[in-house]
Chains A and B, each alone.
With several copies, the nearest count.
Chain A
């Protein structure tokens, strides 16, 4: 079939690949995004992973647009089905008149024919896996390349740049490159024999972009290196392993010692030791690992050891749904560990923010000498997008004692000061010798749990030290970011959200303001604990608050109630593991339209 003259003009286009674990969706997905990025488009990728290595159903969403994409769309312009489960999972999201490319030998349309018909879906079937095998018997992942080339043809986009991207990725692997080039050819032919070019893509203004395509985990890892990270202690776990894998890969170059520990307990305790010795140190994990680190988190808070802890949340509780998204570890991050101990919790709203918040996390940890959580989630850690190359920011290491000064003639590691922050000294600083200790202690860090516990002075010290430790929160909350409004001023309805759902809510607000006769805005938070005191002022500007968070018990709403006596009685709940989309949020929010 030859190209028609009247092609559908497009500004934004959403594609979903569905297949089995092992089909190479995620790695090819990244290639395709790099390609679109190179052309100057904004790109967004999101994987639907499973905790199974082979088989099962996984998917990869890819979206590109002329304007910035903040979140992936629910609705699909194109679905590429490499197994029947793709239809089970995604056919409901096909737009009217969308296109379905599918492998005719693996995908059974039968049960979906009616739905596809009713939506006027254009079907493009072929033996994608056989074509792949024809090129190379053992490399089924070529089916991804074939369908991608078919997609490019459909969009009327050049495949040369795509081949360049492949060349770069597989540099020195001539065989693989050769196979892929054949696969691209095959894909184009295949589409030419079917629909040909159907769309006309608006060309972005941005040319020769220097943007990079990274995911949240990589942004955090890069942010950590920019912050001066020297020691990462970690134990593998989805969806945080990638941080360790990326930093391992560049360990020597970046000067970051990466220690894969025997378990999460060892990991965080190594990090505590490294921090004590004077380097910036971090640990990363997800829920089960955080649970294991609980005791050490309290120790770090008690000993006032700076520490950055990444928790990439996944569906819980327990093993839960380990490759899905949930925002359900907020309360457990704030309250992890027995007794009362201060900490900071930051939840990045985007990939860019993940990088910059990591730098802030390290600075806050050092300046206030406490553990700082970065609360990412599967949705942010694994999403990919093009971002402006990151830049370095000021590194603030806080109060470090290297010898007698007027203010600190004698080193007291836990000296009681106005803002609660005491000087730190690192070995081998002469005169700085002290013992880090998790028992209550005096200003010199002398333990009270031995002979002095029970004397009246120990009561006094415990009270003073508790106040000192918590006083730091009072001071640091002043430099935390407050919630950010987006949308109409003084809107009828405000959707409150936190962390990584920012992009989805933002797109929903735009939609709602355009498509309803109410006015809408959002108030999004990244700095969750301690909530800056001035937050109340923001809340007072809301007419009708609606909370959106991806958990069951309404944890952030609970915090607002507890800390500000501010009630949010209406909420949008999402539970089930899939990351939210603007259309889901808009649909739910519509309930309050005109109310």
Chain B
């Protein structure tokens, strides 16, 4: 009985249940292409997500995955990553999942700088629950919970990530698959927490921020100093007639595992269990208590 090594990331026999035209299809295929191009194998990759249309993402791949509870894509990713730093860990989710209920994990993961790629399919709406306003819904957007239009300033994911201390901050757009793949590629190459806000339109519930709406607004960052926080923050403020795509900010900082007393030297999952197996002298341990 031998198992064939699978090199294809596309799930066999399962088809995404996203609406036709949903932006999420775009991120899925760009991700599959990128990881395959990088020569990764599905068994070496763990994809975590929360809950939402977008968060069903792991199911459509053949990698290992954690379809966690709502808003909690990142903490299990950290757990996986520290338990076995050799695995490639990717986290995905929606704007509601990642910027709404999961917002705290987002900002704390950013400053921790684990070597994880986090991509948020931002459709500025709660898709799975049928179209309520999300924290990134545009001011004035009329949704099922905002009959007079959204009254709260939307979250600015790029600015937030910068403010939280992320070391790689980018935006991409599912309609531009080449660029998206390039960004995913760079994000995955980045040592540390790489965050990508992925514009991924919801064709069913967001009739405002449509492909057409974005097509005429997006442009690619050029001549931009990605190491300058103030410049990055200035660019982050741009959202309206012009919407920049690309890498806003990238710096080098030791990763979480570089600094952790255990993971800087060891792969925890490969270590033996217990005192004796680890050659720890129990008598010495007990001496503290005498």
Contact = CB atoms under 8 A, between A and B. Distances in A.
> Do any CB atoms of chain A lie under 8 A from CB atoms of chain B in the complex?
yes
Interface stretch (B96-104, B187-195, B226-234, B236-244): B96-104
A273 B76 contact: yes
A210 B283 CA distance: 9
Contacts of B177: none
A584 interface: no
Contacts of B82: 231, 257, 259, 270, 274
A387 to B, nearest CB: 9
B32 interface: no
A56 B17 CA distance: 8
A279 B80 CA distance: 9
Interface in A113-132: none
Contacts of A238: 129
Interface of B: 1-3, 5-6, 14, 17-20, 41-46, 48, 51, 53, 56, 58-59, 62-72, 74-84, 86-87, 96, 100-101, 103-105, 108, 126-130, 132-133, 135, 144-148, 204, 260-263, 265-266, 268-269, 271-278, 280, 282-283, 285-286, 289-290
A222 interface: yes
Top-6 shortest CB links A-B: A273-B79, A228-B273, A273-B76, A404-B1, A431-B3, A269-B75
A56 B44 CA distance: 32
B261 A428 contact: no
Contact of A249 (B53, B70, B147): B147
A274 B68 contact: no
Given A409-B1, A434-B64, A427 B46 contact: yes
Interface string A191-223: 000000000000000000011111000100010
A487 interface: no
A268 B53 CA distance: 24
B1 to A, nearest CB: 3
A428 B87 contact: yes
A386 B266 CA distance: 34
A280 interface: yes
A405 B3 CA distance: 11
A241 B75 contact: no
A392 interface: yes
Given A261-B75, A427-B64, A53 B204 contact: yes
Given A269-B75, A436-B66, A248 B147 contact: yes
Interface stretch (A140-148, A372-380, A445-453, A539-547): A445-453
B66 A245 contact: no
A227 B132 CA distance: 26
A300 to B, nearest CB: 10
A228 B83 CA distance: 13
A233 B145 contact: no
A429 interface: yes
A318 B74 CA distance: 18
Interface of A: 22, 34, 37-38, 51-56, 210-214, 218, 222, 225-228, 230-231, 233, 235-238, 241, 244-245, 248-281, 288, 295-296, 299, 318-319, 389-390, 392, 395, 403-406, 409, 426-439, 446-447, 450-451
Given A228-B274, A263-B100, A263-B104, 6 more contacts: A241-B130, A262-B100, A274-B79, A299-B69, A404-B2, A447-B56
Given A296-B72, A389-B286, A446-B14, A276 B145 contact: no
28 contacts: A34-B290, A51-B128, A53-B18, A235-B101, A236-B145, A248-B146, A251-B261, A259-B79, A262-B100, A262-B103, A272-B68, A273-B66, A277-B46, A281-B83, A288-B69, A296-B69, A299-B68, A319-B69, A395-B273, A428-B43, A428-B64, A428-B86, A433-B6, A433-B43, A435-B59, A437-B67, A438-B69, A447-B59
B281 to A, nearest CB: 10
Given A38-B290, A319-B69, A403-B3, A277 B145 contact: no
Given A260-B133, A263-B71, A438-B67, A218 B289 contact: yes
Contacts of A279: 83-84, 268-269
Contact of B108 (A52, A230, A262): A262
Contact of A432 (B18, B43, B104, B269): B43
A280 B273 contact: yes
A252 B70 CA distance: 31
Nearest to A37: B290
Nearest to B19: A54
Contacts of B87: 277, 427-428
Given A238-B129, A280-B273, A389 B17 contact: no
The residue in B82, B128, B272 that gathers the most chain A C-beta atoms within 10 A of its C-beta is B82
A276 B80 contact: yes
Nearest to A33: B289
Contacts of B129: 236-238, 241
Contacts of B261: 251-252
B82 to A, nearest CB: 5
Contacts of A241: 129-130, 132, 144
B134 to A, nearest CB: 9
Contact of A257 (B1, B262, B276): B262
B146 to A, nearest CB: 7
A218 B285 CA distance: 11
A438 B68 contact: yes
A296 B105 CA distance: 15
B273 A212 contact: no
Nearest to A54: B19
A226 B113 CA distance: 30
Contacts of A271: 79
A299 B70 CA distance: 11
A237 B68 CA distance: 16
Contacts of A245: 132, 144-145
B132 A231 contact: no
A269 B83 contact: no
B260 A257 contact: yes
A281 B45 CA distance: 21
B201 to A, nearest CB: 14
A265 B45 CA distance: 24
Nearest to B89: A273
A277 B83 CA distance: 6
Contacts of A51: 128
A91 B169 CA distance: 54
Given A269-B75, A392-B276, A257 B268 contact: yes
A231 B273 CA distance: 12
